[in-house]
A and B are shown apart, each in its own frame.
Chain A
């Protein structure tokens, strides 16, 4: 199975909002409400930001929100801050044999 599709880059100025998309198929994103989003600063461990499409783990600012429509999930970062600059990855359960798919990653730049 192919990876989920994310735009390679996204950007915004401090205080602005940016949305990153994650497109799969009706075999993964479209069927399961198991989309997660991870923030990854180079050299550090990835950090869970969103799970179950739209739920935020304790400690994640409410500036981060998730949603899904059909085969496409989205991560929105509102009120951009400098520390939000990182790589962001989506993931989805993909059914057969307990497979998980990741997106190719989106590099978020805060201008």
Chain B
């Protein structure tokens, strides 16, 4: 059974940093692209970032580019999102999601999702 478990969320002040993690199991982690998607309170889904199976291809939403860094450790079946210079509009439930294949190009399919971890940016 595919499982994606996010952690690392919490309350953080504007301008500070936070690191989210996603522990994966139940599939061949190294064979799949991974993604972060967020949902602000009362809002819709927003794609944040994607990383290919070997970290060779990465993408970021304009809203987080230059502040967030996605990474993965295939030896530990782990995905991370380093978030710097946090702003109030980064407040959201952050989901880790799995892609059906290795690549991120020409793909907008997220076939399994975690339950999310809540990030609140407030002073």
Contacts and interface: CB of A to CB of B under 8 A. Distances in A.
Given A45-B95, A45-B115, A46-B95, A1 B47 contact: no
Interface residues of B, number: 28
Give chain B's interface secondary structure class.
loop
Nearest to B47: A100
A102 interface: yes
A35 B59 contact: no
Contact of B47 (A40, A91, A105): A91
Interface residues on A, range: 20 to 34
A46 B38 CA distance: 11
B44 A51 contact: no
Contact of B113 (A46, A57, A104): A46
Interface of A: 1, 3, 32, 34-36, 38, 40, 44-48, 51-52, 57, 87, 89, 91-93, 97-105
